[in-house]
Structures are given as C-alpha cells and as structure tokens.
Amino acid sequence: MNYEFHWPVLWEYRDLLLEGFWITMFLFVTGVLSSLVLGIVFGILGASHLRWARALGEIYVEVFRNTPLVVKMFFLYFGAGFDAYESAIIGLGLHQSAYLAEIFRSGIQAIPRGQFEAGFATGLTRTQVMRRIILPQAGFIVIPPTTTQVLETLKNTSVAMTISIPELTFQTQQIEAYSFRGFEAATAATLAYLAVGGIVGAGAYILEHRLNRKTKSRVTKDMTAMANVTAAA
C-alpha cells in the first residue's frame, strides 16, 4: 500500500470535525450523567436488605447489561418513537448504568458489616449510616471501575451514528465520502478520543487521591466519635 497522507484536508473539513466533536461531547456528558444517576439508584437497591429491592436491582442489571447498546437505540428510535438524540442518550444511560449499578453494589457490600452495626449502635438511622459512613468509603473503592465505564461511554457514543446522529465517527465517514481521505479523518478522530480519554483519566486519578484523604479523615473522625459515645454509655 502506497498511501500518501494529505493533512490539509482536515482544515478543509474542519467544520464537520468540530460539529462531530461537540455532538460527541454532548452525548458523552449526558450519557455519563444519566448512567451515574441510574447506576447509583439501582446499585443501592441491589445492596439493600430488602428482598424486593435486591430483586429489582438484579432484574435491571440483567436486562440492560445483557442486551447490545445498538439494540436499545434501535428499539427506542424505531420502536418507541423517540427522536435520535433522545434515543442515544437514554440508550447510553440504560446501557452503562447496568454496569455501574453492579460496581456500586459491589462497592457498598465491600464495606465490613461491622461498620453498619457500629453506626446502628450509636443511634444512627440506616440512611444516616449509608450517607455518613458507607457511601464515602464505597465511593473511593468504585472510582477506578467507574472511570472505566465513563471511558466506555465515550467510546460507545460512536454507536449513535447507526441512528444517523452526526457525531465524530459519522463525520469521519462523511469526509471519506467527500474526499476519499478517510485515514486522515480517522486519525483526527482517534486523537480527539485519546485526548478526552486522557483528561478523564487524569481527573479520576486526582479525584481518587483527594477523596482518599478526605474519606480517611472523615471516617476516622466519625468512628472515634462513635467509640466515645459507646464507651460513655
């Protein structure tokens, strides 16, 4: 293969690349936010002491984790009648939240049962124990796998091209059709994905270390206060 790259084509079609990039970022941000909300809710349900709540969480995870993202988008777009952007955002949210729910459930259940009991012994309600003791520690545990799913959301935005959303991958194919310079367009798209992924990874690294310090300080303080109350009783 004797292909000669012609990089000026990227400047010529910069409007298409920029449009695709911003649409990709829109899908990425909305997809991450919706999947985090749903993932937290169903993760807590999956770790609940209530049988019906655990069953609901398990059913949600099994249904949406075991169906392809493109099937969800097709169903929402062609079957349920949502428009393309709604179908993409809802599809991404449902798909990634199933994985996040399992991550959050595992993070909560990784906290020793004794910490629940210590919180109850001091008179805290289940909600207060979850909010003040369990969730801060679980949050630190789940940062690495959650980061992986956030990056998966970024990559999965490219599936939206199947329902004609002109995101970044779609636009590289448009440039290929107009100029027969698909390698240059694909290179630009790859660098854009790598740049965003690098920023997300760096942000997660910084967040993990900051949260680690804050969590250790807060939990130590709360557990010390509990121990003092118990000793006084």
Averaged pLDDT of the chain:
89
Average pLDDT over residues 184-213: 91
Question: Could you tell me the CATH number of the domain that includes residue 189?
Answer: 1.10.3720.10
Residue 134, in any domain of the structure: yes
Residue 3, in any domain of the structure: no
The model carries a pTM of: 0.86
Q: Where does the chain have alpha helices with state H?
A: 8-12, 14-46, 51-65, 69-74, 84-109, 113-121, 126-129, 135-156, 168-179, 182-232
Average pLDDT over residues 96-118: 90
Average pLDDT over residues 86-99: 97
pLDDT tens for 159-187 read 999 999 999 999 999 999 999 888 999 99
Q: Which residue has the higher pLDDT, 227 or 64?
A: 64
Question: Which structural domain range is residue 101 located in?
Answer: 10-232
Residue 196, in any domain of the structure: yes
Residue 4, in any domain of the structure: no
In total, how many domains does the chain have? Answer: 1
According to the model, what pLDDT value does residue 208 have?
Answer: 81
According to the model, what pLDDT value does residue 219 have?
Answer: 55
